[in-house]
Amino acid sequence: MCRLVGYLDEPILLESILVKPVNSLVMQSLHARESSVPTNGDGFGVGWYAPELSPNPGLFVSIFPAWSDRNLIHLTAKIKSQCFFAHVRAASVGGTNSYNCHPFSYDKWMLMHNGDIHQFSRIKRHLRHLLDDTIYNSIQGETDSEHFFALFLQLSQGQDFTNLTKIADIFEQTLRTVERLSQQYTDATNPSYFNVCITDGKRLLASRYCSDKNTAPESLHYLDNGNFNDSLNIKGVVIASEELTDVSNRWQTIPANHLILVDEDLSITFRGL
């Protein structure tokens, strides 16, 4: 499985979370601690917001392993953002090319995913039939994750997202639609995993979910307004596949089959799925 990190609060250097911690995302690309697949070397991506320039995020993706990409080290030391996503990939659906690297973006939205949709090839065509031409033609890669994102965007058309709970409603509708397609067109012998993060640059939503309620979802933790470590004081919210520091009592695990909703004021609520 892949590994991911999301951040929301005051602008900080990206390296503060992606490079410097003892169990940073760069470290997890080579040796993940909480995954049955320790190496995530099939590319990486970083997406960040600079609202003074545009409401839409900037993206940097690469098919090279994060641990060996010097550009990543240099860029994260020079870019500050109040909201950013980062992802290291262990390919499941889709080959190793830049179009399959997370995060994915469309207008102000950004999404990344750790997990997989079981037998996605059997539902891919049926999912695409639910998309209008604009959303359909925005798909550039082959991954189940980007198609999940496209369906979320389709269901978002005409919605009022003033309240974060409405984003959660559309996310859950997207999830249930994929589950319905899976039940209809696959043998459902294995579960699907949905550790998904979505943001509009101001708010953040993340899921920790497995379609089989008797199977544990993939790991997902959060840090809420606490010290990242003794030398770096980060007061925002961090969502991460793995605890980035060795101070475990500062991290909390997102409950299985729940959404975590982080609003603009950094207030956190949970919602069962």
- By annotation, the residues acting in catalysis are 2
DSSP assigned state of 217: P
Tokens of 54: 């545009």
Q: Which candidate, 23, 133, 131, 15, places its Cα nearest to that of 78?
A: 15
Q: Which candidate, 171, 236, 183, 180, places its Cα nearest to that of 209?
A: 171
Give the SS3 label for residue 38. Answer: coil
Contact (Cβ atoms closer than 8 angstroms) between residue 19 and residue 228? no
3-state helix/strand/coil string of 32-78: CCCCCCCCCCCCEEEEEEECCCEEEEEEEEECCCHHHCHHHHHHHCC
**Which residues 6+ apart lie within 8 Å of 106 measured at CB?**
138, 149, 153
Tokens of 253: 């695990």
Give the separation between CA 145 and CA 148, rounded to whole angstroms: 5
Residue 162 CA neighbour count, 13 Å, CB half = 1
Q: Which candidate, 102, 84, 87, places its Cα nearest to that of 238?
A: 84
